[in-house]
Amino acid sequence: MDHFNRKNGVLHAEDVAIPQIAADVGTPVYVYSTATLERHAQVLKAALADLPRVHIAFAIKANPNLAVLGVLARNGYGADVVSGGELKRALAAGMKPEDIVFSGVGKTRRELQLGLDEGIGQFNIELEEEGAVLAELAHAQGKIAPAVLRVNPDVDAGTHAKISTGKAENKFGVAIDSALGIFDRLSKLPGLNLRGVAIHIGSQLKTLDPLEAAYKRIGELVAELRAAGHDITHVDLGGGLGVPYRPGETVSSAEEFGAMVKRVTQGWDVTLMFEPGRFICGNAGVLVTEVIWVKPASGNPYVIVDAAMNDLARPALYDAYHEFEAVEPTGEKFVANIAGPVCETGDTFAMGREIDVVRSGDLAIFRTAGAYGATMASTYNSRPLVPEVLVSGDKYAVVADRIQAETIMGAERVPEWAR
């Protein structure tokens, strides 16, 4: 459920008419709904409420906007971060250090040190050497770093290959067969409190079966680790819950997820941790765009919009589908291709899709753009970085400015010898 609906035929974000935002801020622009963010945050919390001990850390990579993070912090969410930059954002947004989990396959020493300096709640270790370095850094300062070992359960998440993370050949985590040996060795190191395990098998999972299979393997590993004398108090089950992108597409609900987790983790006696990203913010955002031209072509006409692959990369990267809708539709439909202005054939949002009839100057939206949208934007083709707006009821505010190409040039230096 989201809060982007029509009133008198005009698309609104909560109580704000999209044309008002477009007139004020310009296009393209991301628009987020506070009510949708809060609703999803609450729905997931409620679905997990029956579990004995739960910690939910929003995967900041999905939407690191400070205002969005603020909404989630106020709703009791911690953060799952994967870089020093994300760690600083989580803190700046008001998330408590102890509620921050640091994931990522390539944390540098400097980033590990930052985590120690800030006293974060948990490091998710991805390889033995990382654990040894963290232990050494912590011990040198008389600290003990709370950590879990990320395990690769070799489960096919059944999602796009580029966002699948739990197959043996993926770069993430340690092989499940080697987990016990690594755990034995790392847990002897001073400076480290290795207290559990973590998994994350991939993103945009539409069914729960792969998650259930992975969780069961983790349950067996926890039993094995305990039999070997280890004190296991935390299991981080990662993120991955999918959202519907296409009309009529079904995905597992938070309630079904909660029931599955409860059934599978019965008797584990640990704090369960979750790292949802897309589920929380995917439907909470749209990308508003203006039609520049409707260009005749040998096949379907091309609707050329002012948003492009640099603003919303998912279609170009993963052939992802984002629903396209006119802000003030006439009711007529036509079959068209939708593309942006960037000089790449891959800068295409849809081919041969039946969409609302639009004309030059019309406003339209791409739906379900709140996750992995603005956060993956770039300035390719020296296009300004897309701005972001947060709506709450009848209020809205620009929460990230449009960064102009001139500003970006200002950050560059041309040395004498290169002139």
Ligand X SMILES: N[C@@H](CCCC[NH3+])C(=O)O
> How far apart are the C-alpha atoms of 235 and 219, rounded to whole Å?
9
Residue 179 contact among ligand PLP, ligand X, none, beta carbon within 5 to 8 Å by kind: none
> How far apart are the C-alpha atoms of 104 and 27, rounded to whole Å?
34
Q: Pattern 358-387, binding to ligand X, x per CB under 6 A? A: --------------x---------------
240 is annotated as contributing to ligand binding: yes
Is the separation of the CB atoms in 333 and 352 below 8 Å? no
Supply the minimum distance, in Å, between the C-beta of residue 328 and ligand X: 29
- The runs of H, that is alpha helices, within 141-208 are 179-186
Q: Return the number of the residue (172 or 268) whose C-beta is nearest ligand PLP.
A: 172
DSSP state of 401: P
Task: Answer whether the bond into residue 341 is a cis peptide, omega within 30°.
Answer: no
Residue 314 engages ligand X in binding (rule: CB under 6 A) = yes
Which residues have C-beta within 8 Å of that of residue 140, sequence separation ≥ 6?
191
Residue 245 engages ligand X in binding (rule: CB under 6 A) = no
275 is annotated as contributing to ligand binding: yes
Residue 278 engages ligand PLP in binding (rule: CB under 6 A) = yes
Task: Show which residues are catalytic.
Answer: 343
Residue 350 engages ligand PLP in binding (rule: CB under 6 A) = no
Helix (H/G/I), strand (E/B), else coil: 84: helix
Q: Which of residues 146, 173, 276, 373 is near ligand PLP by CB under 6 A?
A: 276
Is the separation of the CB atoms in 111 and 87 below 8 Å? yes
Q: Return the number of the residue (312 or 336) whose C-beta is nearest ligand X.
A: 312
Residue 279 engages ligand PLP in binding (rule: CB under 6 A) = yes
Residue 103 contact among ligand X, ligand PLP, none, beta carbon within 5 to 8 Å by kind: ligand PLP
Helix (H) or strand (E) holding 211: helix 209-227
Q: How far is CA 178 from CA 24, 175, 210, 221, 238, in A?
A: 56, 5, 21, 11, 20
**Total binding residues toward ligand PLP, as defined by CB under 6 A:** 16
314 is annotated as contributing to ligand binding: yes
Residue 277 engages ligand PLP in binding (rule: CB under 6 A) = yes
Cα-Cα end-to-end distance for the chain: 55
What length is written for the chain? 419
Helix (H/G/I), strand (E/B), else coil: 392: strand
User: Per the annotation, where are the binding residues?
Assistant: 240, 275-278, 314, 318, 344, 372
User: Per the annotation, where are the binding residues for pyridoxal 5'-phosphate?
Assistant: 240, 275-278, 372
User: Per the annotation, where are the binding residues for substrate?
Assistant: 278, 314, 318, 344, 372
Site residues (CB under 6 A) for ligand PLP?
59, 62, 80, 103, 165, 200, 203, 238-241, 275-279
Site residues (CB under 6 A) for ligand X?
61, 163, 203-204, 314, 318, 372
